[in-house]
Amino acid sequence: MSVDEHTYAPYVKLAGGGILIFVALIFVRRRWFSSISDIPGPFLGSFSVLWQIVHALKGHTEEETIAEHRKHGDFVRIGYNEVSIGHPDAINEVLKSQMNKGDWYRIFSLPDSRYVNQMSEVDAKRHITKTKNVAPGYAFSNVIKAEPYVDGALQVFERQLDTLSEAHQPVNFDEWFNYLGFDIMGEVTFSKQFGFLEQGRDIGNAIANTRALGIYVAIMGHFWWAHDYLLANPLIGYLNLQPTMHIFDTALAAVDARSKNDKVRKDMIEEWITMRKKHPDRMEEKEILAAAVANIGAGADTVSATLQALFYNLLRNEDTLKQLREEIDTANLAEVPTHEETQKLLFLQACIKEALRIHTPVAFGLPRVAPKGGVTVLGRHFDEGVILSVNPWVIHRRREIFGEDADLFSPTRWMDPIRSREMEKSLIAFGAGYGQCPGRHLAQMELSKTTAMLVRDYEIRQVHKGECWKFETHFTAVPYGWPCYVTRRRKP
């Protein structure tokens, strides 16, 4: 051993011992002396965020959270400072309150940290202002104007399905529904498709990379402060290293082109530009790009997941498919079914609600933070700063609300209007309160038209009958791995 090592060895040991004692004290304090120490839950959750990280990596946080609630009841401590609430009253008491959103959401500032969109704005007041600024773009009266362009995208989609069918090639709906979702988002947001449908491929690996981004988001949301140095570092954008650069580039180019062109459609961006002209004091210019990017991040794989859930379950429930097809066939719908027509098809709407319930695309606890002075939820007080989260999957599997068969796909549960109204109060696939999904009108249009058109026009069968799909839940639960063959059943 050298002289230096002799000199420093006792100090190194001392520092090591000090760190150990420090970590042990944090463990003891979090585990036994926190204001939520009495709440049951998994061991790792009682002193760290490791339980959430482990299950984000394993990919089934939703199943684990349901199991924990079935074991422990309405409150489960899933993190050293986070309680998951599984009771439907939490919809009103937590999600519909004005509590700030959890810091976890800051991770959604993309393409970089300069762009705080409505999703990543955690302060309730500022969030509500941002929501008001962009609301006209999402209003049903605006979205419906885009219907002809949604129709155009659906026609390209069917043309591509026909080509695959004639070549006897399988259709990977995880890819194709995503192409459809992205191209519709481009049309509606800035009047420009990304080109996924026309090219029939994942341009720039944007969709594959979005999956990788899902894992990053689920884990790094707990360490959001490091996000600024990683993916949200403007240098990464500058060097073109973002994993979904094709998407950002297309959005940037479309927003930029808009400033030089005044002969444009009344799309979302146009609504936002008009809003900014009216309220320059409360809306910054960069909010427009931020909102466009948020849309593209939020509005494609969620729609794809729901469409997949619907078709995957229809293939497993022949009687349900038959009943749906009868309703659609007798309705004598337009070549591309109109939104108005599809809203009258009660069984179709029941199937869509059931798909949103049984395989809810956002499969993550939606976190809110107990405000100054704390808050009482379901009769229990929570200190200021405690994170309270509500996972839609947990609520959607409550048997006393949705029935003993809550774990099964059964659209008929929505056919009794009285029961349906009651269940709808607990259907939070689009969230609830000030953070709820502004894209729900567009999503409803896409889901209704696409399902009606495909069920009417094609026979679909899995390449390997009965093979189970795969999915991992990060923020969203987007399935894959269930290739199908399609054949025309109705001539165009």
Give me the residues that bind ligand HEM (CB under 6 A), please: 118-119, 131, 294-295, 298-299, 302-303, 306, 361-362, 366, 429-431, 435-439, 442-443
Buried b (16+ CB within 10 A) or exposed e, 454-481: bbbbbebebeeeeeebebbbbbbbbbbe
Contact predicate 174/214, CB 8 Å = no
Between residues 131 and 165, which has the closer beta carbon with respect to ligand HEM?
131
Nearer to ligand HEM, 47 or 414 (CB): 414
Q: For residues 482 and 308, give the distance between their C-alpha atoms in angstroms, rounded to a whole number.
A: 9
What's the order of all strands across the beta sheet hosting 366-369? 75-79, 82-85, 387-390, 366-369, 100-101
With CA atoms as reference, report the closest residue to 150 among 119, 105, 109, 183: 183
Distance from C-alpha of 331 to C-alpha of 323, rounded to nearest angstrom: 13
Which one, of 182, 126, 125, lies nearest residue 153 by Cα? 182
Q: Which of residues 337 and 439 has its CB atom nearest to ligand HEM in the complex?
A: 439
46 or 118: whose CB is closer to ligand HEM?
118
Nearest residue to ligand HEM on Cβ basis = 439
Tokens of 238: 């500058």
437 is in an annotated binding site: yes
Nearest approach, Cβ of 438 to ligand HEM (angstroms)?
5
DSSP conformational letter for 203: G
For ligand HEM, give the closer residue by CB, 46 or 255. Answer: 255
Q: Which of 455, 172, 423 is nearest to 317 (CA)?
A: 455
CB-wise, 42 or 267, nearer to ligand HEM? 267
DSSP string, 108-133: G--SSTT---TTT--SHHHHHHHHHH
Q: Are 405 and 110 in contact (CB under 8 A)?
A: no
Rounded CA separation 250/262 (Å) = 19
Residue placing its CB nearer to ligand HEM in the complex, 39 or 298: 298
Nearest by Cα to 396 from 381, 409, 412, 415: 409
End-to-end Cα spacing for the chain: 85
| Amino acid identity, position 222 | H
Instruction: Look at residue 71 and give its three-state secondary structure.
Output: helix
**327-363 burial by CB neighbour count: b if 16+ within 10 A, else e?**
bbeebebeebbbbebbeebebbbbbbbbbbbbbbbbb
| Shortest reach from residue 75's CB to ligand HEM, in Å | 19
Nearer to ligand HEM, 49 or 91 (CB): 91
- Residue ranges for the binding site for heme? 437
